[in-house]
Structure 1
Amino acid sequence: MDAVILAAGQGTRLRPLTDDKPKGMVEVDGQPILTHCFDQLIELGADELYVVVGYKKQVIINYYEDEYRGVPITYTHQREQKGLAHALLTVEEHIDDDFMLMLGDNIFQSNLQDVVNRQQEERADAAFLVEEVPWEEAGRYGVCDTNKYGEITEVLEKPDDPPSNLVMTGFYTFTPAIFHACQLVQPSNRGEYEISDAIDLLLHSGRTIDAIRMNGWRNDIGYPEDREEAEQRLRAEADEGADDDADEGADAEDVASVASSE
């Protein structure tokens, strides 16, 4: 399955970190955000990476060149930042089967594989990871409205009055049907072509849309404090892993000691 990474944005809320580089090249725990994204997508089975670039695109292209960990990279250019649906259309000519989509400003430590499995097993027209956030933060994201059965009935992009606190997280799988929906999307009140509006069109046309609850965590690196929080989480997990390895080593030594005494 191919993977598309959207990395064209300017990251104005991250300035001055993005004065000389695009948001995806801001380092989190010693590596650019895009490196974290690429590693996860390759672990999920990405055969090729399609990276949508825009703002200071050459920084990304010069850094990764035409492959990463042996996986080919193709770059497409979003000349004007007119929204995620607009960005996705830049890869349409390259994609003819199911694909993964990741926003290139997210750090995930969660059940992304569940989304890919749902796409492969059920072949939904779209599947995506959702999480509940504090109500006061819901307006930062694409918000999912639900009925009394918990089924998603509508998706709204950054609403002023969110109908729920269940939001899309920035990882999706799609069939090529999403491209036609993106072509039909009209500019939002923000003047952008929103991916949430394209998903909403699929939903209301009777397409199969699956939402998978997130198990784990993710950070949308929109502000400097988001970057700091992601670094703390990654380091805490690394420390926990080191402690587990030390415990396993101690257990192995105990077993060896017992065996030698016998």
Structure 2
Amino acid sequence: MKAVVLAAGKGTRLRPLTDDKPKGMVEVNGKPIITHCLEQLRDLGADEFVVVVGYLKEKIISHYGDEFEGIPITYAHQREQKGLAHALLTVEEYIDDDFMLILGDNIFRANLQDVVRRQREDRADAAFLVEEVPWEEASRYGVCDTNKYGEIVDVVEKPEDPPSNLVMTGFYTFSPAIFHACHLVQPSNRGEYEISDAVDLLIKSGRTIDAIRIDGWRTDIGYPEDRDEAERKLQAAEEGVTDDVSAADEEEATAESGSE
């Protein structure tokens, strides 16, 4: 299965980290975010990478060249950053079957394999990794609504009044049907061609999109503090520290406090 990495962004909110490099080349725990993405896609069985580049694209191209650990890389150029649906159309000519899509500013340690497996079962036209976030944060993301079968029935991009707190995380699988939907998308109020609008068109055309709830964690590297948080989590994982351990420590502390 081919894998697409969207890495054309400027990362203005990450400045000064992005003053001289594109967002995807910001290092997290000693290596660029894109490298983290490529490693995970490799482990998921990707047989070809298609990387969408834009801002300071030569930094990415010169760093990775035409392959990553023996897996070929093709580059697609998004000349203007006009939204994720617009970015996706730059890879249309390279995709002829189901594919993985990852946003090149996300760090995952989660059940991505479950999303790929669901796509390969041929019961869904697309599958998304989703997670619940605090309600006050939901307006930062594409917000999903699901039915009792776990299928996505509505998606709204960055709504002022979110209908739920279940959001898309930045890892998807699609069939090529997504490209036709992207061609039909009109600019949003933000002036961008939103992936959520393309997904909504798929849903209205009767396509099935499954929501796979996250088991693990992910960090969207939008601000310098997000980079720091991702580093802390990765280092904790390397040292074998888990949230379960933290929870156990808290329970022990609570028990000791109650016995005093």
TM-score (norm 1): 0.90
Return 5+ residue gaps in structure 1 as ranges.
Answer: 242-262
> How many aligned positions are there?
241
Residue 83 (structure 1) aligns with: 83
The one-letter code sitting in structure 2 at the alignment partner of 1:177 is: A
Report matched runs for 1:1-262 at 5 Å.
1-146=1-146, 151-240=151-240
1-structure distance, mates of 2:187, 2:146 = 24
2-structure distance, mates of 1:149, 1:37 = 30
The one-letter code sitting in structure 2 at the alignment partner of 1:142 is: G
Return 5+ residue gaps in structure 2 as ranges.
Answer: 242-260
Runs of 4+ in 1 over 3 A off after TM superposition: 146-151
The one-letter code sitting in structure 2 at the alignment partner of 1:168 is: M
2-structure distance, mates of 1:115, 1:151 = 13
2-structure distance, mates of 1:76, 1:163 = 35
User: Against the structure 1 CA distance between its residues 125 and 235, is the aligned structure 2 distance closer, same or farther, given a 3 Å change threshold?
Assistant: same
TM-score (norm 2): 0.90
Quote how far apart the aligned CAs of 1:122 are: 2.7
1:165-215 C-alpha deviation (Å, 9 max, x unpaired): 100000000000000000001101100001111111101111011110000
2-structure distance, mates of 1:78, 1:114 = 30
Q: Between 23-32 and 147-156, report the one with greater CA deviation.
A: 147-156
SS of alignment partner, residue 144 of structure 1 = strand
RMSD: 1.2
Quote how far apart the aligned CAs of 1:90 are: 0.4
1:72-98 C-alpha deviation (Å, 9 max, x unpaired): 000000000000000000010110000
Larger radius of gyration: 1
Quote how far apart the aligned CAs of 1:124 are: 1.6
Counting aligned pairs with the same residue, the percent is: 79
User: Against the structure 1 CA distance between its residues 141 and 77, is the aligned structure 2 distance closer, same or farther, given a 3 Å change threshold?
Assistant: same
2-structure distance, mates of 1:149, 1:127 = 13
